């Protein structure tokens, strides 16, 4: 079952963020039972030129390869899709026009303006381009609008109702900062924002998503109804694991740190 169908069928899908620019990390995580893995081109030191190397360990699906783009940009979209990514998380989708651009950039004519120059996505010519052209967008491609500003919350219904949008994704760090309540994930403003995203996604039959920044947020997110759930990221999990060991050995002082 493709990730697109799983989300459409209402299933909970779990993945994580790749921020460490080395294929060993991807290779190791690909052995786990993730539904998807998302490469962070927005905040991590990963450029499109790095992405093709990071994708190489993912020769089977799942995990479905995703990419969070640095921006809603036509050139970045087409390059990343040509490398074989099957889903995009696009930051700062604040209006219907932003959502429409996202879909247009990721769609071949006549639906959009994606340039036709496939590379790894058709295994360097081993797969039939016409099959990819005719089936990828409808059966595999996942487009996710990141909701991280008050403006996006105001325009939520227009974004969610845009044809081609498969999910809305809350970035808690950005959203709380932009709401004026940095890292206050229990603040009523943030709770209300989550409820609104869940309600609008249900209305328009698309998947609600969220980034779980600490382990406790994962089950909470699933219980609340989120279906595209990112479990922390590679660097965070690695560092948290070592911290826990060192605290138990008395080599590190335990302290509460709010935030991501």
Helix (H, G, I), strand (E, B) or coil at 108: coil
Averaged confidence pLDDT in the chain: 96
225 DSSP 8-state letter: T
CA-to-CA dists, residue 25 to 53, 231, 232, 237, angstroms:
12, 15, 14, 12
Name every residue whose Cβ is closer than 8 Å to that of residue 237 and which is 6 or more positions away in sequence: 16, 231
Active-site residue, from 8, 43, 120, 236: 43
Please state the CATH superfamily assignment of the domain spanning residues 3-234 in this structure.
Answer: Phosphoenolpyruvate-binding domains (3.20.20.60)
Active-site annotation holds for 22: no
Instruction: Name the β-bridge partners of 87.
Output: 66, 142
CA separation for the pair 225, 208 (Å, rounded): 8
* pLDDT confidence of residue 194: 98
CA separation for the pair 93, 96 (Å, rounded): 8
- pLDDT band of residue 257 (cuts 50, 70, 90) is low
* pLDDT confidence of residue 63: 97
pLDDT, tens only, 146-199: 999 999 999 999 999 999 999 999 999 999 999 999 999 999 999 999 999 999
7 neighbors 228 (Cβ within 8 angstroms): yes
b/e code 231-249 from CB counts within 10 Å (16+ = b): bbbbebeeeeeeeeeeeee
Q: How many CB atoms lie within 10 A of CB 49?
A: 9
């Amino acid at each position: 079952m493709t990730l697109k169908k799983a989300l459409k069928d209402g299933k909970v899908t779990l993945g994580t963020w790749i921020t460490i620019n080395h294929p060993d990390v991807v290779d190791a995580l690909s052995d786990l039972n993730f539904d998807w893995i998302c490469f962070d081109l927005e905040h991590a030191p990963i450029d499109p030129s790095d992405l093709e190397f990071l994708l190489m360990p993912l020769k089977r699906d799942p995990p479905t390869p995703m990419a969070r783009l640095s921006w809603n940009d036509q050139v970045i979209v087409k390059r990343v899709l040509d490398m074989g990514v099957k889903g995009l998380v696009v930051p700062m989708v604040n209006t219907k026009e932003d959502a429409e651009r996202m879909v247009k950039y990721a769609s071949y004519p006549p639906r959009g303006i994606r340039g036709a120059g496939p590379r790894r996505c058709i295994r360097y010519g081993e797969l039939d381009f016409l099959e990819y052209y005719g089936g990828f967008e409808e059966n595999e491609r996942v487009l996710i609008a990141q909701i991280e500003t008050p403006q996006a919350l105001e325009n939520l219904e227009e974004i969610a109702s845009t044809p081609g949008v498969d999910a809305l994704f809350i970035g808690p760090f950005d959203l709380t900062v932009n709401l004026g309540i940095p890292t206050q994930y229990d603040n009523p403003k943030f709770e209300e924002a989550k409820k609104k995203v869940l309600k609008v996604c249900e209305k328009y039959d698309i998947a609600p998503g969220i980034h779980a920044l600490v382990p406790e947020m994962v089950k909470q997110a699933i219980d609340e109804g989120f279906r595209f759930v990112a479990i922390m990221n590679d660097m965070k999990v690695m560092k948290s694991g070592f911290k826990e060991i060192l605290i138990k050995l008395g080599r590190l002082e335990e302290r509460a740190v709010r935030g991501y």
